[in-house]
Amino acid sequence: MQQLQVTELTTFVQAHATQQPVLLDVREPWELQTARLEVPGATLLHIPMRALPARLQELNASQPILALCHHGGRSAQCVAFLLQQGFAHAYNVAGGIDAWSREVDPSVPRY
């Protein structure tokens, strides 16, 4: 499984700008309201993990998909699912939004 560290996220998005990266947030709605991550150049798409199979058609397999959750566990499961579905450019954001808050932007609330 391909993983990105939170410290690599912005650089990765910039380097793949022509492919229009998607930041796939698989957390629950309440989590998104608590802490939100925006990376310039990436399109934010919120699909809770449980809804991903039913909403798979909203994703484009040719775009880099950067899956994000709280700590990286749920997003890793989603990336494994996406890889099985033929999404070769799916990446797990290791450590999730918690790592982002600790290592990149402390203004993002931790929960």
The residues annotated with a catalytic role in the active site are: 69
> Can you give the length of the chain in residues?
111
C-alpha 78/C-alpha 48 separation (Å) is: 10
Query: What is the sign, positive or negative, of the torsion defined by CA atoms of 52, 16, 99, 76?
Result: positive
Q: Tokens at residue 75, please?
A: 């997003």
